[in-house]
Structure 1
Amino acid sequence: MPLVDIIETFGFADADLIKMDIEGSELAALTAIEPLIVDNPEVEFVYESNFEACDFYGHARQDLARRFEDLGYSLYCFRPQGDLMRYASSLPQGLAIVDMLATKRDMSGVGYASVVDYDYDWAEREIRRALNRPMEVQQKHALSDLKYCRPEFLDSGVWKRAYQAYLDKNPASASGS
């Protein structure tokens, strides 16, 4: 059942929080419930940003993040460290799958979790680790996120050894990268 129908059928039009983990269909669901957002501008979202699932549906995870930003939301990444990291669609995600918070509140004063500024070092370290993982989806995510990394990271040898190891294991990828 589409999210918009669930909201209308069960009377959740005044929801405070909507959790979306619908394997790449989050962008379509968000588009369908935009009238609800207009009527309930304070509604917040927790959504799964999943590189592979978004790719399967023909859009990038950045498209979903950008749509939330266009609707006036600030984004935060739930990191494994237990904090909320400020996030923007123009930045590398770090992990192939993360939960994100889209809110119009400044979360630094809420006290739910500590809020930290965006951490390039963490994201780029996760990208480098993903290139070394045997799972192809992790490697593809890392390669797609490289274009959002800092020039000093790209110019360094930090990630290049991992990338070369990836190419050595997947020689067909060299021509497509």
Structure 2
Amino acid sequence: MKTFVLGGGCFWCLDAVYQKTRGVTEVVSGYTGGHTQNPFYEAVCSGTTGHAEVVAVTFDETVVPEDVILDMFFVSHDPTTLNRQGYDVGTQYRSVMYYADQEQKQAFEAAIERAQPLWDNPIVTEVSELPAFHTAEEYHQDFYAKHPEQGYCRVIIDPKLAKARKYYAQWLAA
């Protein structure tokens, strides 16, 4: 099993994509990369903690290759916008990959190189060493599955899921 910690805007979006990915055994929404201890949602949303909304994606690489997990990341958000994803604006929504070791760092850098030709603008995804990971509040966990009819899910997440399905249908559960 491997775990990647990735941030691509609101954690609900990446959570929704990876929860449906074959071989993914766990997705935990959380916060990392900031300068405060014990961050919580309202503080992170204020933009004053320095934390990013992220997901810790644990997967079985004998079922789904790490390259698929990483390439899905670049299809599931816009890695060319600095500190924003659509209407979500602030450093907490930055595109970021947190590595646990040098092997992950190299895999992340290779994924950026693979993804760059797909985008007209330069990828601005940050690659940083993983600091402390803080699990987000329970109501953020598996949000899309619990609230698929909620407006944000319909307007923002559904199109991201459709895009992931377009390119990675073989890896996504129905």
**Superposed pair shares fold, TM > 0.5:** no
Larger strand share, 1 or 2: 2
Larger helix share, 1 or 2: 1
**Structure with larger RCO (C-alpha < 8 A, sep 6+):** 2
